[in-house]
A and B are shown apart, each in its own frame.
Chain A
């Protein structure tokens, strides 16, 4: 049976030095930033903040310098990620681009695409969207129907993507389309494209989510023309590329740090001298938090060593989801708050937000059931 062992990872001294710099930067830039906004964590949006991070050299950190990167290690990047998340910084503007779209282009894109896009991501200028899901294709991604038909000089796309985060703000989308309707293998016949969101054939319509926010979208493609040099990677190679992309998407510390601001708000609420029940509950949360961090760090260590983090990343995301969904439940049981959205205090607002948002933590980026399917495969059960 394959081992589910997470090798401990020690951060090198330069990463700890960097941590100090990031903290200083965050303390300054984030001063006075309200808790209710911090609670939104990596889905909070602020282009200005993204550009500031870019200016510090903290985006595209591991990429080659010739593509605007900084050639630092995965572990240094990890430190920046966990610090901005723990502070509840509004990183939504660059998160997807830095995490998966940039790396995808570096791995599969053309030289021109890399030159065009990657330096701008590293400067924090570009917002990216991920166009995978469709109305009839969620977990079963291979069933997508949005079609790209080859025409002179490019492709014409028709169809609909849905749940596309930040598409209404995005500059680009990396989208998966069907380029062959009758392949032998259901995982063949799909290709990835770089879609300029100013394309007149592409319309993003925000869909309000249960928290009241406009964050995900329905994106329609009506005879949208995409120039041929905007196909990413091989024609027909989309599935393999998407699987590679999902590894980046699933492996990061955002999968257990989304609700960290609620935890700190809870600690303030229960005060420095908690009763036994509060102490036990808090201790249990922190025990799992610390372990998740160890595991997440170990995944970064694997990535740094060039190992495949797919299985380990799925385990962290699965456990992170359990932990993060327990948090609002526990906060509710312990404090018995009745959170008011307008005049509630910081804790109430954070609790209200995470209570609602946490249901999505085990959906986005692959549902709990799908992740456990991946783990089961890792256990050689299927």
Chain B
């Protein structure tokens, strides 16, 4: 880790460690019968510490760091299951800045326009319906990519300009449907070519991969700790070799998810990260599946209770692996690209893509 990364890591560890508690996670969940509690203190300190716009240039109010540095923030957001739109704000701000727009303060979210959905923008405003918008109801502003007359446009609107149908993922994190009907456009610009056609989807996948890597590390640690504490047959279950072998498997998966996600962030700094991000989402998604099932097995019945905190991480793993495209979606993109390039190009493409500087 370089100095900046170390500093960011220290900050997020302290901050999330203090402020993301089991109670706050519980309160932040969406239930039919009760209102989710917004962890205001958490959000404010994240903002005060400059964690919401790490990759936005300084002249636009950001930190001016790169993606490789910001990896530690996204990973920590996953490790601690921080119930706030942090990575969404990081992404939205960066996209705006890359298109020459100054990001607003406060919470931002990005709308992944999924297959079959579309958003249109014209002189009257923004219109259309998008589902599964992370933290939609909490977003001060929403960043979307809409169809304009001359091509894709990045559009910033206020969250309050949408009609909101509340929904949530398996982790009961807000994933809302937003309906825009000639919503007032706060700012807009043509989407910068270098960002590719659907950067919300792409970089959203990258950020989720980092969150998954963090959450896999978290469940690994919980599994290890539980195995040392739980006594059966007169000894800690960690003494049973099968438990050791299970957790070693999670250890390897955690290392792989971290390596793949970090590589994707580094690729994002280099440019043209499509295939690295695809690989990261696949590897992280696979790790999520394996880790969640093994760590639940290790925990026995207590891990199946709402009372125990394991599920705050495992339900996020199951949710995040699908968000912004699941393993099959990204594997298909990667696979088609590899097939198109042909067998002889695979090795040189791989080494060139990961060649570093």
B-binding residues in A (CB < 8 A) = 1, 4-11, 13, 16, 19, 23, 82, 86, 260, 263-265, 267-268, 270-274, 276, 278-284, 286-295, 297-298, 312, 315, 318-319, 369, 371-373, 375-376, 378-382
Contacts and interface: CB of A to CB of B under 8 A. Distances in A.
Contacts, number: 187
Interface stretch (B31-39, B188-196, B337-345): B337-345
Interface in B229-251: 238-239, 241, 243-245, 247-249, 251
A272 B343 CA distance: 9
Interface of B is mostly: helix
B354 interface: yes
Interface of A is mostly: helix
A288 B335 CA distance: 12
B283 interface: yes
Interface of B: 1, 217, 220-221, 224, 227-228, 238-239, 241, 243-245, 247-249, 251-252, 254-256, 258-260, 262-263, 266, 275-276, 278-280, 282-283, 286, 327-328, 330-340, 342-344, 346-348, 350-351, 353-357
A270 B336 CA distance: 10
Given A4-B258, A263-B346, A282-B331, 4 more contacts: A264-B347, A287-B283, A372-B249, A376-B251
A1 B217 CA distance: 11
A375 B347 CA distance: 29
Contacts of A272: 339-340, 342
Given A287-B278, A381-B244, A282 B339 contact: yes
A4 B339 contact: no
B255 A379 contact: no
B5 to A, nearest CB: 11
B186 to A, nearest CB: 38
A279 B339 contact: yes
A283 B356 contact: no
Contacts of A11: 355-356
B334 A373 contact: no
Contact of B263 (A270, A294, A315): A294
Nearest to B257: A291
Given A281-B331, A286-B335, A315-B255, A376 B244 contact: yes
Contacts of A281: 331, 335
Contact of A267 (B243, B266, B342, B351): B342
Given A280-B331, A318-B252, A268 B343 contact: yes
B351 A5 contact: no
B335 A291 contact: no
A264 B343 CA distance: 5
Nearest to B344: A264
22 contacts: A4-B220, A82-B351, A263-B346, A267-B338, A279-B331, A279-B335, A283-B337, A284-B331, A284-B335, A287-B282, A287-B283, A287-B330, A288-B279, A288-B286, A290-B279, A315-B252, A319-B256, A369-B245, A371-B248, A372-B244, A378-B251, A382-B244
A214 B340 CA distance: 39
A257 to B, nearest CB: 9
